[in-house]
Structure 1
Amino acid sequence: MKFLHTSDWHVGKVLKGHSRLDEQRAALGEIVQVARNHEVDAVIIAGDLYESSAPTADAQQLVVQTLLALKRTGAEVLAIAGNHDHPPTFDAYRQLMACAGITMVGNARTAADGGSVDFTARSTGEPVTVAMLPFLSQRYAVRAADLVTKTPAESSAAYDQLVRDLLSALTAGFRDDAVNLVTAHLTVVGGKFGGGERTVQSIFEYWVPANAFPPDAHYIALGHLHRRQSLPAPCPVHYCGSPIALDFGEQDNPSMVLVVEAKVGMPARIAAEVPISSGRRLRTVCGTVDELAQRAGAFGDDYLRVLVREATRAGLREDVQKLLPNALEVRIAPEFAAPVNIARPSTPVDGVERSPLELLHEYCVDRKLVDERVEALFVRLHDQVTAGDG
């Protein structure tokens, strides 16, 4: 049988004030087409369908439309909540989505209560069991009192043990004559961050080793780390990554979904790593303003993070964004950044009191920010404030 593994859609993501919804609509459309072209028996979405636990109506509409479109391909559709999703909302719509043939799991459930799903592969007639473990917050594994009394290593062990116990219970019904799959949203020891994850929910206390998964599983479909990767384990353990680069830290990550083949008695194999190309490229560029102007035509419609190799000055950001309208972030390259003086004298070393304008001028000279427009604006604002006081 064949299934499609995808995760970390983050629908509703806004990058530096720019909506990614149109890109995501196109990318999810590609995923539906992949499911249709490969005639997969199931689509597994391993968490973080949304960027926010309170998604906009447009984001919700896109996700629902995509889930329904995936179901219309004839595939079983199974989705778990990630750390960005709102588990109670997933569970609130669980029965309604079930009417459309879509399985959603928000909070961890027992196998009997829907934490494990059985179906028959339409292409081969093989029985399939999928154990579904959504993101599990550490607070469910370690009580508040334990955070005070236990060491970080002990807290981490408690989280690890809870995940193991849940997986053991969810996979207790795995059979020798079925294809046994697990999907989970978590961090596995040895996994590499994609660059856009919430660090606080990817730290060591939330990690589990790859041997936490049962060796009789044919495939482990993971979400949470946005980089495509496989991890050594007694069974195949894979992250598929995100279908678009979500932040500049992910600009070099290939965007894809996985088409997986599995059969009874054999470990699953990756049949295809299918590229998803709809997301706009994120790119970091570096140079002086003149150098950037000369290269502007080569950047196309890429979203840009710009490192300017010049000392800062008033209006520099505006100049760069006028040249490069897709520059979402403009920074001074570290080697050109003005040094930060931590300790400064609290009283004038020469004993002479300085006016506010003189103090501003000294500050600007010290930071290499001298610009007569800034000082003129300061004088105007200072006059308004002092006149108001009078």
Structure 2
Amino acid sequence: MRILHTSDWHVGKVLKGRNRFEEHTRVLAQVIEIARAEKPDLVIVAGDLYDTAAPTADATRLVTRALSALRQTGARVVAIGGNHDNGQALDALRPWADAAGIELRGSVRDNLNDLLIEGMTEGGERWRVVALPFLSQRFAVRAAEMYELTEAEAHQTYADLMARLLAKLSEPFAEPGVVNLVTAHLTMVGASAGGGEREAHTIMGYAVPATVFPPNAHYVALGHLHRAQRVIAPCPTRYSGSPLAIDFGEEENVCSVAIVDVSVDKAAQVRDVPVTSALTLRTVRGTLEQLATVNLPDAWLRVLVREAPRPGLREDVQEMLPNALEVRIDPDMLPERSGARSAERAGRSPRELFGDYLDSRGNAEDGVRELFDALYDEVSSTQ
């Protein structure tokens, strides 16, 4: 059978104030075209369909239409909730999803059998997939236990619970003659972060060892980390990565979806199909004179300016480079900061602290201190 594995769409993502809805529309259209060309039996979307737990109407419309279009290619579609998704809101869409022939699992419910999905390809090959949405440590480990456990004990408890949960869900894998699959949204020990994930949910407290997955699984389709990668595990395990770079930390990632060919008696063969519809993300640095030579009209830019800070510098750069979403002074231009501050904050006036800040940034622009003094006096007089 053939599987198209994708994840971490993050529809609704705003990058440095710039809405990327048109890019997401193009990216998902390309994913659908890949599905039409590759003719998978099953499409797995391994979480983070949305970038926020409260998606806009446009974002919801785009995601539901994309899932419907993938189903219309003839493939079965299984989608799970990620840490950015509102699991209960996804579950509320179950009546629509069921009517559309889409297997949508937003959160872990009391009925664990609901997380085991079975099917058969047109060629008569049976498959089953354990569909495990994101399960937070706070939900998995009771609050009372969290207070009683050390940090290391809480991490281990979470990993043990995930291992037991996956072992229970995968008990039917003992039946021969079926392609056994797992999809989950989590962090694995030893995997590489893509650069734009939410730090709170990728720290080691949420990481689980590869041993949580059943060795008799034919393929494990993971979501959560945005870099496409294979993970060493007892069974073939892979992150598909995000089909577009979510933030500037991901500018080196190769955006793609994974096409997996697997059968009961054939090891999973995986190849990545690039997704190129979104603008690339690039970091450029230099003086204003050097930046004037930059020609990257098809990229969003993070600009590190090698100039002394001054009012209006950002505007000058953005006039020169309209696609510059982030403009900062190059860190190499800033004075080195020692671990100990040159002066204590306690007992110092706001004027003195602001003066120290300007000095630390090398800002000697005339009038800045005077403007701060005037604003401070105005605010102070109204209190």
TM normalised by structure 2 equals 0.92
Whole-Å separation in 2 of the counterparts to 1:347 and 1:17: 35
Name 2:46's counterpart in structure 1: 46
Name 2:322's counterpart in structure 1: 325
Shift of 1:373: 5.0
Unmatched 5+ stretches in structure 2: none
Shift of 1:379: 7.1
Whole-Å separation in 1 of the counterparts to 2:250 and 2:73: 30
Contact 2:113 2:169 in 1 (8 A): no
Q: 1:299 aligns with which of 292, 296, 304?
A: 296
Which moved further from structure 2: 335-344 or 25-34? 335-344
Whole-Å separation in 1 of the counterparts to 2:344 and 2:133: 55
Name 1:156's counterpart in structure 2: 155
Whole-Å separation in 2 of the counterparts to 1:267 and 1:133: 23
Name 2:171's counterpart in structure 1: 172
Contact 1:311 1:338 in 2 (8 A): no
Name 1:351's counterpart in structure 2: none
Shift of 1:165: 1.2
Name 2:190's counterpart in structure 1: 190
Whole-Å separation in 2 of the counterparts to 1:334 and 1:117: 51
How do residues 89-104 of structure 1 correspond to structure 2 at under 5 angstroms?
Answer: 89-104=89-104
Name 2:127's counterpart in structure 1: 128
Contact 1:313 1:368 in 2 (8 A): no
Amino acid at match of 2:132: L
How do residues 255-274 of structure 1 correspond to structure 2 at under 5 angstroms?
Answer: 255-270=255-270, 272-274=271-273
Contact 2:297 2:323 in 1 (8 A): no
Contact 2:49 2:81 in 1 (8 A): yes
Whole-Å separation in 2 of the counterparts to 1:158 and 1:345: 42
Deviations 1:83-120 (A, max 9, x none): 00011011111122111100100112477642111111
Contact 2:345 2:353 in 1 (8 A): no
Match of 1:61, SS? helix
Deviations 1:207-229 (A, max 9, x none): 11112111111000000000011
> CA, structure 1 residues 228+347, in 2 after alignment: closer, same or farther (shift >3 Å)?
closer
Contact 1:259 1:273 in 2 (8 A): yes
Amino acid at match of 1:159: Y
Whole-Å separation in 2 of the counterparts to 1:345 and 1:234: 54
Match of 1:372, SS? coil
Contact 1:111 1:170 in 2 (8 A): no
Name 2:236's counterpart in structure 1: 236
Shift of 1:278: 0.8
Whole-Å separation in 1 of the counterparts to 2:186 and 2:321: 38
Name 2:226's counterpart in structure 1: 226
Whole-Å separation in 1 of the counterparts to 2:67 and 2:136: 25
Whole-Å separation in 2 of the counterparts to 1:28 and 1:363: 45
Deviations 1:236-285 (A, max 9, x none): 00001000000000000000001111111232111x31000011110011
Identity, in percent, stands at 48
Shift of 1:314: 1.7
Which moved further from structure 2: 157-166 or 375-384? 375-384
Deviations 1:165-219 (A, max 9, x none): 1111111112211111100000111000000111111111111111211111100
Contact 2:225 2:241 in 1 (8 A): yes
Pair 1:12-2:6 in alignment: no
How many residue pairs align between the two structures?
Answer: 379
How do residues 45-124 of structure 1 correspond to structure 2 at under 5 angstroms?
Answer: 45-109=45-109, 113-122=113-122, 124=123
Name 1:140's counterpart in structure 2: 139
Larger Rg: 1
> CA, structure 1 residues 259+110, in 2 after alignment: closer, same or farther (shift >3 Å)?
farther
> CA, structure 1 residues 364+246, in 2 after alignment: closer, same or farther (shift >3 Å)?
closer
Whole-Å separation in 2 of the counterparts to 1:190 and 1:20: 31
Shift of 1:370: 2.4
Name 1:371's counterpart in structure 2: 365
Shift of 1:382: 6.8
Whole-Å separation in 2 of the counterparts to 1:337 and 1:63: 43
Deviations 1:132-169 (A, max 9, x none): 11101001222223222222221111111111111111
Contact 2:303 2:324 in 1 (8 A): yes
Match of 1:173, SS? helix
Q: What root-mean-square deviation, in Å, do the aligned CA atoms of Structure 1 and Structure 2 show?
A: 2.6
Amino acid at match of 2:275: I
> CA, structure 1 residues 318+118, in 2 after alignment: closer, same or farther (shift >3 Å)?
same
> CA, structure 1 residues 346+239, in 2 after alignment: closer, same or farther (shift >3 Å)?
closer
Match of 2:161, SS? helix
Amino acid at match of 2:136: S
Shift of 1:374: 3.3
Pair 1:337-2:337 in alignment: no
